Amino acid sequence: MSSQAVSAPKSSRSRHIRLRCVLALAQKEGYQILRDPSSLVIAFVLPLVLLFLFGLGISLDPTSIPLGLVVETRSAVTDRLATSFRGSSYFELWEADDRAELEPLFISGRLKAVVILSQDYPRQRTMGSATVQVLVNGSEANTAELIVNYVENLLQKQMWYDAEARGQPVAASPILVEPRVWYNPNVDSRAAILPGSIAVIMTLIGTILTALVVAREWERGTMEALLASSISRAEFLLGKFLPYFGLGLSAMMLVAIVTVTLFGVPFRGSWLVLTGVSAVFLVVALGLGLFISTATANQFVATQVALIVGYLPSFILSGLVFEINSMPLSIRILTHLLPPRYFVSACRTSFLAGNVWEVILYDTSLLALFAVVLWILTIRKTRLTLE
Amino acid sequence: MIRFEQVTKRFPRADRAALHEVSVRILAGAITGVIGPDGAGKTTFLRLAAGLLVPDQGRITVLDHDTQRELAFRDHLAYMPQKFGLYTDLTVWENLLLYARLRGIPAAEGRASIDRLLTFTGLGPFRRRLAGKLSGGMKQKLGLACSMLIQPKVMLLDEPGVGVDPVSRRELWKIVQEQRDQGVGIVWSTPYLDEAEKCDYVLVLYEGKVVFFGPPAEFTARANNRTFLVEIPAEERRRLTREWLQKPTVVDTRIQGQRLRVVLRPEALVPGTPPEARDAAPAEIHHMAPTEARFEDAFIDALGGVPKDRVALVNRTASGENHHEEVVVAEGLVKRFGRFTAVDHVSFRVRRGEVFGLLGPNGAGKSTTFRMLCGLAAPTEGHATVAGVDLRKARAQARRFVGYMAQSFSLYGDLTVRQNLEFFGGVYGLRGARLSVAIRQMLDELELAPLANISAGLLPLGFKQRLALAVAILHRPAVVFLDEPTSGVDPLARREFWLRIDQLVEEGAVVIVTTHFMDEAEYCDRLALINRGKVIAMDSPDAIRNSIQSPQLPNPTLEDAFIAMLERANEATERDAAVTATGAERKGGPTT
Amino acid sequence: MLERIRRLVIKEFLAIFRNPASRMAVLVPPLLQLLIFSFGATLEVRNAGIGIFNEDLGVLGRELAARFQSVPVTFSRVVVCHSYADVRQVLNTQKVLAVVHIPQDFSQSLLAGQTAVVQVLLDGRQSNAAAVTQGYTSRIVRDFARTALASGAIARRPFAQSIPVTRVWYNENLHPLWSSMPALLGILTNLVALLVTGLSVARERELGTFDQLLVSPLRPGEILIGKAVPAFVVAYVEGGLMILAAVTFFGLPFRGSLLLLAGALFVFLLAIVGIGLWISAISSTQQQALLGVFTYMVPAVLLSGFATPVENIHPAIRWVANVDPLQYMVAVSRKVFLEDPTPDVIWPFVWPLLPIAAFTLITSAWFFRHRLD
């Protein structure tokens, strides 16, 4: 069968694309989109809902971490330290003068960490360096890591202020580390996650939008009629692609604008560039959907594949939240095969850093490569006979 | 015009070729019917001719173009696939415009062409309506119009008559006949044997092979002089159908109203055949009145007649402990979906041992009525009782009296035949020895025993139908509901199926059936014709036929009667009110 | 009644496991996802790039720079920058996460007994990595200072320090796998239970077999139970497999009581099966059911505490998280694996599952009955 399929007949006109045909198909698809509100909901409501979920639900910035502070012997030094703990927005402070009081809370998970200033602390301080015990709950490894960092910074800073207040030439350390965070001076994780989440959202939306459209033609039997009117593969796919491309791009812009206006994420790049990259990415995302749809020709399988490919991998493995560099090698290699990875990076750069051409061109060219490969596969898979 | 030379087409994972060494020459200016049951290769034939499939062997030329080399013939080809190829969420006008543009017809010319077709098909007033909201018949016409935007030389129509009410079907024929008269070559595939008689030529396919190709009269003539109508006592007819079929000289028997239609083997008649053969002919042969053969008679004959060994004769105890005389009662049933009334005050009563048929065009409300009777839908008004209980309210106990066979032979495809039976038997309260005895009996009777451990999804259609029946009657119900029970299965399987139903009925069960096969309606004791939610006639098949008998139509068929009654009913309503476009026939609604 | 339910349950199991495609879909993806995602879900900083911009010509500057090269696990690539333009370049292009800037007067200040300042420039596009990297670099610099002081390389002078002695409980080495795998146990059993229940009724509706069930003596409640039990069992058994895999192949500790986890998973899956039946009842096609599954899964996973702590959720949608059964399951699973929680510790995370399960099961039964018309 395959040997014959290769020598499948060529339509007299299949070589070039007839614009009229493409437009007719695109217009038809447009009517279908307008008449079936579900695609409009998928294109405009779903992205906003997802954006709000990412914006409000996902944050790596510890705010009001429940933290215990045990001061076994009170003194001016410990009071000052307690005051600065209280003043920190990172912590919600629980104070006690006996560690036995806070231990049950720590064990029950109510407190994520306990800082213990032992009986000896004030005395040690007068001598110079003093030890502070920090108990951290490690069941959320990253939170634990961050809490330790914050507590350390706070302790160091307090030492420095104390020294300065006394006018002593005593330094907390002979070397002072002065952190300067570029692009996101407040280290606000929302500003980092939201631009990246646009990529995840658009992967989902793009895939779902197109995953069904080819399968639907096969299932409803309209494919047969289209085939008999001898349209070419390119005409057919372009006619499918164009309307959803328009829809996807408007959804993308909507999400980007909401990110900037409602969530106050800065936008330092150029909108033109973002539009360009998004366009390339949409070619990939819609291409993926069309590919799934073409390859399965069955709406049920198509949705299932689209959801499996579209959500968890792009959420977990795109570098949106989790560190790609820290993953084991095999999984790092896997992430390179996920187009959202590149779009996450391009979006973040566009929003927070501006037009960094090295990043944007690199990401865009890889996306373009994906686009080419996916579309070649899709065109190959598009059958012009009913075999 | 179309030429097939030794064409074979095989699909992957199929046990036999979809088409096997088919050679035919189809002529221009004629209607060629491609006839055969589902799976005979009709659609494959049409798709091959349209160049949508590539043959494994052989050569196909259309208008002197080899379909494997060039597709230029498509500029002169109108092809209408089974599901019409319409976009249901586009309007009539938009559908036509889309196909005009895809065909590369210049805008002005396209518009003119669309206007012409809209007038021609009478769809003009509906141009702004969504295709999905059209009735089956109108969809069919629109599908036809879409394929005819270019002036075609060849038209390939895949089952255009299916799912369309007889009135629309007649209109469709009229359109096609006009095209033929202008010299267009038309290929019309159909599973309805009665449509064959209207074709100029027929290509009869069975299991991928050509059974016959030529004028239909020639085919029918093969059964001439061998077909008889026999007057028999009404209460004996079911038994006699079966008994006669067992005789070696009988090819086919079939109930036709109050009479029995019998086709005999040629040997049974020709003088000079061995005496044994003649003796074996039914003793009552001299009571027979010869009658004109029909296409179906010849078809069954061509397939070798109904196999004798399939005619099961099993004596079983009467089913159901229920002794209500009127087993099924429908009183003033009304079902509304929003503002649309799908069923409008339908009432009837069905007695023990009766086969009751619900007949009507798609969307007329027969399925909805049916669903209300078996408790799948709640009536908006009125009530339905089965064996004295309202199934909607009935506790699980009452449902045991009911067997149900759904349209699509709903079985669990991943379960084996035996597992399906075990599941349904168990659900109906059979267990232990009773269940295994019932299953063994059912497997033997329906000859499913060798297939007991095969997944139901892999069964051929005819066997699926048998299994679906087995599932429905395993628990000996007093009432059996059959929803389009034989759609798609071949005529032989259909015969067998009805023989089994006859047995059930003799045992006292009630059978309620919906159908759109006219010949299937013949098996019913009484029929209710439903149109636009109302019963327009309810009587025995003979009485319905006789009611329209006239000098012009001395021998009306059930279809003739049906059409006459539909037209009469429609005229009446049209007189009442200008037709606010047939919303009653919206497809995809809960009625279908 | 029991007999009918038994038949239905057997049938459901056969339908799931006799079909190769659905057998695969139920068994393989969850275990594969457990493998990939639990390794992928890490917030550690490893294999990162770091830039060193050393303007100091002294020995101390060089030594500090060398310190950063001696932690290959964290910083596998060290890029030496020669100018501010280089710094900008490597940060912009995401070649490094941070650049350590050692100023010209670094050695000089230290030798003169003054405080030297080291600048760390961080890429805020990856805010979490930036925060973590900042911690790492500070610690490296502090260690450097301490050893330099001890060895007498820099002038001794009045100096005071609070030395935090950190003790991490439960996940002593802060292994990210230990956090992610227990969470994925909840997420993936959830997904399986939801797919099996959510789609089964819709599939029967599409195939037409659902009508066949409805005309049979089965009551809606029996159908409901018949649909719920297999999904529940499949998800439960898979949960067990995941626990086994986590402990045997991935070396996770299991410090709590298995009985407790089994109990919590039981209630949790009841709640999920309820949600699945809910989706089943309201959707008439498999496609709608899939969209329903998805609509539930996305927020449930985002707000579960799997990726980011529940405490960080914005108060505006905190209530959504509070009714997310997955949130409680993730917490319970982490606690049972890593801690050894006493009943009073675990109770606050288990009891909310009870009303959620009761609610979803009861409403799904209600929906089920009413959708039958």
Residue B385 identity (one-letter amino acid): T
Sheet (strand B209-214) strand order:
B77-80, B154-157, B185-190, B31-35, B201-206, B209-214
B510 contact partners, CB below 8 Å, separation of at least 6: B327, B328, B350, B351, B352, B353, B354, B356, B478, B479, B480
pLDDT tens-digit map of C12-48: 888 888 877 777 777 777 888 888 888 888 887 888 8
**CB–CB contact C175 A172 (8 Å):** no
Mutation for C interface: A173, A311, A317, most C CBs within 10 A? A173
Q: Are strands B31-35 and B185-190 parallel, antiparallel or unpaired?
A: parallel
Residue A145 has pLDDT above 50, yes or no: yes
Q: What tens digit of pLDDT does each residue of B383-401 get?
A: 888 877 887 777 667 788 8
**To the nearest whole angstrom, how far is the Cα of B242 from the nearest Cα of chain A?**
42
pLDDT in tens, A301-343: 676 677 677 777 888 888 888 888 888 888 889 899 889 999 9
Contact flag B54-A1 (C-beta cutoff 8 Å)? yes
Phi and psi dihedrals of C217, rounded to 5?
A: -70, 0
CA distance B106 to chain A (A): 10
Contact residues for A328 (Cβ-Cβ < 8 A; gap 6+)? C39
A6 is a domain residue: no
Which residues in chain B show pLDDT less than 70? 13, 163, 268-287, 308-324, 362, 395-396, 488, 574-592
pLDDT tens-digit readout, B487-537: 767 777 788 888 888 888 888 888 999 887 777 788 888 989 888 888 888
Contact A59 C162 (CB under 8 A): no
% chain C with pLDDT above 90 = 24
**C188 lies in the same domain as C321:** yes
Q: Are residues A84 and A48 in the same domain?
A: no
Whether C348 is in a domain gets the answer yes
Residues C79 and C104 both lie in one domain: yes
- pLDDT score, position A370: 92
Same domain as A126, residue A32 = no
Kindly determine whether residue C216 and residue B424, on different chains, have CB atoms separated by under 8 Å: yes
Give the closest of B396, B406, B419 to C218, CB-based: B396
Q: What is the pLDDT of residue C373?
A: 55
In C, which residues are within 8 Å of A322 by CB distance?
40-43, 307
Tell me which residue of C116, C114, C81 sits closest to C100, measured CA to CA. C81
Asked if domains B2-219 and B353-376+397-576 share a fold, the reply is yes
Last residue of a domain, one of A117, A133, A165: A165
* A18 to B104: CB separation less than 8 angstroms, yes or no: yes
Q: Kindly report the CATH number assigned to the domain that includes residue C74.
A: 3.40.1710.10
b/e A364-377 (16+ beta carbons within 10 angstroms → b): bebbeebbeebbeb
Do C122 and C207 fall into the same domain?
Answer: no
Q: Are residues C202 and C341 in the same domain?
A: yes
Name residue, tokens 């790609």: A324
Same domain, A125 and A201: no
Cβ-defined contact of C207 to B455 (cutoff 8 Å): no
Q: Say whether C218 and B427 touch across the interface (CB within 8 A).
A: yes
Residues in B closer than 8 angstroms to C19, CB to CB, are 414
**CA dist list (Å): C313 to A63, A64, A362, B589, C304:** 9, 11, 34, 45, 10
Q: What's A109's domain CATH number? A: 3.40.1710.10
- B38 token code pair: 């589902």
Do C106 and C52 lie in one domain? The reply is yes
What's the whole-number mean pLDDT along residues A189-211?
A: 83
Residue A262 in domain: yes
Q: How far apart are CA B470 and CA B458, in angstroms?
A: 17
Q: A229–B103: do the CB atoms touch at under 8 Å?
A: yes
Residue type, A179: P
What subunits make at least 3 CB pairs under 8 angstroms with C? A, B
Question: Least CA distance to B106: which residue of chain A?
Answer: A20
How distant is the Cα of B587 from the closest Cα of chain A, in angstroms?
Answer: 14
Whether residue A4 lies inside any domain: the answer is no
Among candidates B146, B91, B104, which has minimal Cα distance to A235?
B104
* pLDDT band, residue C351 (cuts 50/70/90): very high
Looking at the fold, whether C244 and C331 belong to one and the same domain comes out as yes
What pLDDT, on the 0 to 100 scale, is given for residue A276? 92
Of C159, C293, C307, the CB nearest to A128: C159
Answer yes or no: are the C-beta atoms of B73 and B154 closer than 8 Å.
Answer: yes
Residues C181 and C318 in one domain: yes
Task: Please say which residue of C151, C183, C218 terminates a domain.
Answer: C151
Per CB-CB distance under 8 Å, the chain A contacts of C167 are 133-136
Residues facing residue B5 across a β-bridge: B59
Order of strands, edge to edge, in the sheet holding B479-483? B402-405, B479-483, B510-515, B355-359, B526-531, B534-539
Residue B419: its chain C contacts at CB < 8 A?
A: 11, 14
**pLDDT tens profile C300-310:** 988 998 888 88
Statement to judge: residues A279 and A156 lie in one domain: no
Quote the minimal CA–CA distance from C223 to chain B in Å: 11
Q: C92 or A372: whose pLDDT is higher?
A: A372
Tokens 């064409």: give the residue. Answer: B7
Count Cβ atoms below 10 Å from residue C110 Cβ, excluding itself.
Answer: 24
Asked if residue C157 is part of any domain, the answer here is: no
Q: Region A171-196: what's the mean pLDDT?
A: 77
Sort out which chain B residues have CB atoms less than 8 A from A23's CB and list them.
101
Domain B353-376+397-576 listed as CATH 3.40.50.300: yes
Please judge whether B69 and A9 are an interchain contact, meaning their C-beta atoms are less than 8 angstroms apart.
yes
d(CA C143, CA C151): 12
**CA distance linking residue C164 with residue B478, whole number of Å:** 85
The whole domain housing C358 covers 2-41+175-371
B68–A9 C-beta distance less than 8 A = yes
- CB-nearest to B101 from A10, A24, A36 is A24
On whether the CB atoms of residues A353 and C125 are closer than 8 A, the answer is: yes
The answer to whether the Cβ–Cβ distance between A230 and B87 falls below 8 Å is no
Would you say A378 and A241 are in contact if contact means Cβ atoms under 8 Å apart? no
CB < 8 Å to A38, chain B: none
B54, B84, B103 member nearest A8 (Cβ): B54
Q: Are residues C95 and C138 in the same domain?
A: yes
- Residue C199 shares a structural domain with residue C296: yes
Q: Are B363 and B587 in contact (CB under 8 A)?
A: yes
| pLDDT of the residue at B282 | 53
Pairing of strands B185-190, B250-256: unpaired
Q: Do A102 and A251 belong to one domain?
A: no
Contacts of B114 (CB under 8 A, 6+ apart): B93, B96, B97, B100, B149
The predicted complex's ipTM stands at 0.79
With respect to residue C347, please indicate whether it lies within any of the assigned structural domains.
yes
Domain count, chain C: 2
Could you give the strand order of the β-sheet that contains B57-62, starting from the edge strand earlier in sequence? B19-26, B2-9, B57-62, B65-66
Of the residues C5, C11, C223, the best mutation for testing chain B's interface (the one with the most B CB atoms within 10 Å of its CB) is C11
Residues A285, A377 within the same domain: yes
Query: Is A3 domain-assigned?
Result: no
Query: Does one domain contain both A218 and A328?
Result: yes
CB–CB of A244/A279 below 8 Å?
Answer: no
Inter-chain touch B84–A221, beta carbons under 8 Å: yes
Torsions phi, psi for B287 (to 5 deg): -80, -5
The answer, yes or no, to whether residue C262 has pLDDT greater than 90, is: yes
- Quick one: A250 and A344 in the same domain? yes
Same domain, C36 and C133: no
Token code pair at residue B139: 């969809």
Q: How far from the centroid of its chain's Cα atoms is residue A301's Cα? A: 26
> Residue A386: its pLDDT value, please?
62
Q: Mark yes or no for CB contact C217/B428 under 8 Å.
A: yes
Q: What is the biggest distance separating any 2 CA atoms in chain C, rounded to whole angstroms?
A: 94
Residue numbers in C near A265 (CB within 8 A): none
The distance from CA B46 to its chain's CA centroid, rounded to whole angstroms, is 20
User: In this structure, is residue A243 part of a structural domain?
Assistant: yes
| Cβ <8 Å between C7 and B378 | no
Distance of CA C325 to the CA centre of its chain: 15
Q: How far apart are the C-alpha atoms of A366 and A369, rounded to whole Å?
A: 5
Least Cα separation, residue C250 to chain A (angstroms): 14
| B82 in Cβ contact with B158 (< 8 Å) | yes
> pLDDT grade, residue C111 (50/70/90)?
confident
The residue extents of the domains of chain B are: 2-219, 222-309, 353-376+397-576
Of the three residues A110, A130, A165, the one that is the final residue of a domain is A165
- 3-state SS class at B483: strand
Q: Does the beta-carbon distance from A178 to C120 stay under 8 Å?
A: yes
What's the pLDDT score for residue A274?
92
Q: CB-CB: which of A66, A139, A174 is closest to C149?
A: A174
- Contact indicator for B260, B284 with CB cutoff of 8 Å: no
Contact A129, C162 (CB under 8 A): yes
| Residues spanned by the domain of A354 | 18-58+188-381
Which chains form contacts with chain B, at 3 or more CB pairs under 8 Å? A, C
Chain B residue numbers with beta carbons less than 8 Å from the beta carbon of A11 are 71, 74
- Write the DSSP assignment of A272-340 as a string of letters: HHHHHHHHHHHHHHHHHHHHHHHHH--HHHHHHHHHHHHSHHHHHSSSSSS-STTS-HHHHHHHTT-HH
For strands B19-26 and B2-9, give the pairing. antiparallel
Residue linked to tokens 């005789």: B247
Q: How far apart are the first and last CA of chain A?
A: 8
Nearest CA in chain A to C164: A132
Q: Which residues of C touch A154 (CB under 8 A)?
A: none
Q: Is residue C156 part of a domain?
A: no
Statement: residue C352 has pLDDT above 90: yes
Crossing angle of helices A213-220 and A189-211, in 10° steps, is 20
CA-to-CA dists, residue C35 to B108, B269, C242, C261, angstroms: 62, 78, 10, 21
Residues of A with CB under 8 A from a CB of B: 1, 4-5, 7-12, 18, 20-21, 23-25, 27-28, 31-32, 35-36, 220-222, 224-231, 385-387
Is C166 domain-assigned?
Answer: no
Q: Please list the alpha-helical segments (H only) found in chain A.
A: 2-6, 19-35, 37-40, 46-57, 76-87, 99-107, 121-127, 141-165, 189-211, 213-220, 222-228, 233-261, 271-296, 299-310, 312-316, 329-335, 339-348, 357-381
In chain A, how many domains are there?
Answer: 2
CA angle A303, A306, A309 (to 5 degrees): 150
- Which residues from B are below 8 Å from C213, CB to CB? 427
Considering only CB atoms, B414 lies closest to which of C15, C208, C217, namely C15
Q: A66: closest CA among A112, A114, A115?
A: A112
pLDDT attached to residue B577: 53
Q: Say yes or no: A33 and A72 in one domain.
A: no
The residue among C308, C307, C303 whose CA lies nearest residue C328 is: C303
Instruction: Tell me: pLDDT of A368 over 90.
Output: yes
My answer on whether C80 and C225 are in the same domain is no
Residues 211-240 of chain C with CB under 8 A from chain B are 211-219
Chain C residues within an 8 Å CB radius of B407? 208
Minimal CA separation from B381 to chain C, in Å = 14
Q: Do residue C231 and residue C340 come from a single domain?
A: yes
**Which residue bears the tokens 């080819």?**
A214
pLDDT at B488 (0 to 100):
67
Topology at the third CATH level for domain B2-219:
Rossmann fold (3.40.50)
- The whole-angstrom separation of Cα A29 and Cα A238 is 11
Q: Which of B328, B390, B405, B414 to mutate to test the interface with C (most CBs of C within 10 A)?
A: B414
